[in-house]
Structure 1
């Protein structure tokens, strides 16, 4: 276990790595509106950057680092001045950290964009026949499909902003999205989650127990429990959902401390964004009393391997690129490695959570 001093040094390094990310044009595909997609550069408004900013916002709330607040404010001021992109699941992700910034500062610059975006989600976001948000993204319409990614990208924002704004309708919608996605994506036999579900044929595609998708859920449920006041029944239900999932995930943790990109497939490569997020959930779950001490031990193993994958430049390695819905398991084994904002963010969340342990031991 690293000391608080060394954890803070790693945190600073990862922040620098996040800010340094630049698009090299390897994966660019045009968006539906004709714009060029950039899912890597720090200054682009997309879901990897949104998740990266979420890590920064949570770090700022934990440490009070004024330079991080300034970084966030400058980023959002520039984006709003430039004009926000069309709304979809993935472009909603940057709204979550903005809601945290507004909750803490009540800066009027952020209130109108947040309200407009949230109201538009409720009134215009396409839904599947069950009422779950359809996973439309910047470059593709995914008709009648539910993806586990949606909960982290959209529902957490609705919960966070709804709580901060006193909007029970938004918190209720967020809770419903978690519940309906659980119904269609959680595997009853194991507690693990499949990547997606389609109403066109009523199936879970490749039935992929995708590690990062599972990490969106483990981290997302635990964050939801802290971001918003849920009714007691929903809180108890989701607590049991994440407890069952994490108990199973621990059994698939590799000797290195990592998880494979397909949780139950040792031939798939070990993937660090999922490892960091699952480690974060395990440490947080142990701290909140949701899981036993063994969760903390497994979380610390994930911390150790995550730290090993932080380069001298602060860039987190062995992170798989954005992953579409796979129709066979080989698709997931073949996803290329690419540093991303979410890789940086998940490492940040894990490192900041580990500060709680270091502070206790100091």
Structure 2
């Protein structure tokens, strides 16, 4: 395992890689309102950037690095001055890091946009018949669909801001979303999660045990438990859900330390954003006492796999691009790889968590 000094150097490299991300015309994904979609460039308000900012915010909380705080504050100042995009599940993602920034600084200029955004989620966000938020995004309406992505992109914000603002209704809504998504997306036989569910036919699409979707859950549940005070029964239930899932994922880890983009399909390619997030969850879960030495060992193997995929330019390689809902498993095998904000962020979270181990050595 890398030393604290080497881990920090890798983290700094990842941050520079994140800030340098630019859309260069690789993907044409126009939004529903006719504007161009940019899911790559750092200076864009969308879900990949939101997850990237979350990695920076968690790094700042743990390390106290003033330069990272400056990056966050400058980013939000620019975006708020430009005006926020239309609200949907994915455009909520950048609000999560903003909630962490505000919870630490209590700067009043950050709260008004979050308060308004949260109120509109409760009042206007489309829901499926079970009350789960329908996974509508900037370029598509996904009628009657639940996706595991929703929990990381939206529910964590409600929990974090709700906790900081003393809004029990927001925390309760976040907890409900985790519980209702568990009912429809968690596979009882394995503990793994499917990518999505549709009420139009009542099925899990391709029944894809998609790696990054599973990583949204493993990292997201553990972070939810940290970000908000949940009722005891909810905390106990979600702790069991993530424990069961991580035990299943350990058994599917490849010899390289990575996970395949379909975790139960060794013929699908190894995918590093999911590997980073699952490794983060394993190391964090071990630190919190949820899992034994096997969790730590598997997390360190994931760390090795991740660091091998960090290029000299700070970009994380072998990260699958944004993934829509697949109706067959081949769809997931064919997703192209491309550097992304979430690839950078999940690697940052894993390496920051690894600093705890390095400091003990």
Pairwise same-fold verdict (TM > 0.5): yes
Instruction: Please name the residue that 2:168 is paired with.
Output: 168
Query: How far apart, CA to CA, are the structure 2 residues paired with 1:109 and 1:33?
Result: 28
Instruction: Please name the residue that 2:39 is paired with.
Output: 39
Q: What's the offset of the Cα at 1:28?
A: 2.2
Query: How far apart, CA to CA, are the structure 1 residues paired with 2:108 and 2:234?
Result: 32
- RMSD (Å) for aligned C-alpha atoms: 0.4
Q: What's the offset of the Cα at 1:180?
A: 0.1
Structure 1 residues 73-121: Cα deviation after superposition (integer angstroms, max 9, x where no partner): 0000000000000000000000000000000001111010010000000
Query: Stretches of 4+ moved more than 4 A in 1?
Result: none
Q: What's the offset of the Cα at 1:24?
A: 1.2
Instruction: Please name the residue that 2:243 is paired with.
Output: 243
Instruction: Please name the residue that 1:213 is paired with.
Output: 213
Instruction: Please name the residue that 1:99 is paired with.
Output: 99
Q: What's the offset of the Cα at 1:25?
A: 1.3
Instruction: Please name the residue that 2:186 is paired with.
Output: 186
Q: What's the offset of the Cα at 1:27?
A: 1.2
Query: How far apart, CA to CA, are the structure 1 residues paired with 2:153 and 2:221?
Result: 12
Q: What's the offset of the Cα at 1:177?
A: 0.1
Gaps spanning 5+ residues in structure 1: where?
none
SS in 2 for 1:146: strand
Query: How far apart, CA to CA, are the structure 2 residues paired with 1:292 and 1:68?
Result: 33
1:142 has 2:112 as partner: no
Query: How far apart, CA to CA, are the structure 1 residues paired with 2:231 and 2:52?
Result: 29
Query: How far apart, CA to CA, are the structure 2 residues paired with 1:344 and 1:30?
Result: 24
Instruction: Please name the residue that 2:117 is paired with.
Output: 117
Gaps spanning 5+ residues in structure 2: where?
none
Query: How far apart, CA to CA, are the structure 2 residues paired with 1:63 and 1:312?
Result: 23
Structure 1 residues 31-56: Cα deviation after superposition (integer angstroms, max 9, x where no partner): 01111000000000000000000000
Query: How far apart, CA to CA, are the structure 1 residues paired with 2:28 and 2:308?
Result: 29
Instruction: Please name the residue that 1:159 is paired with.
Output: 159
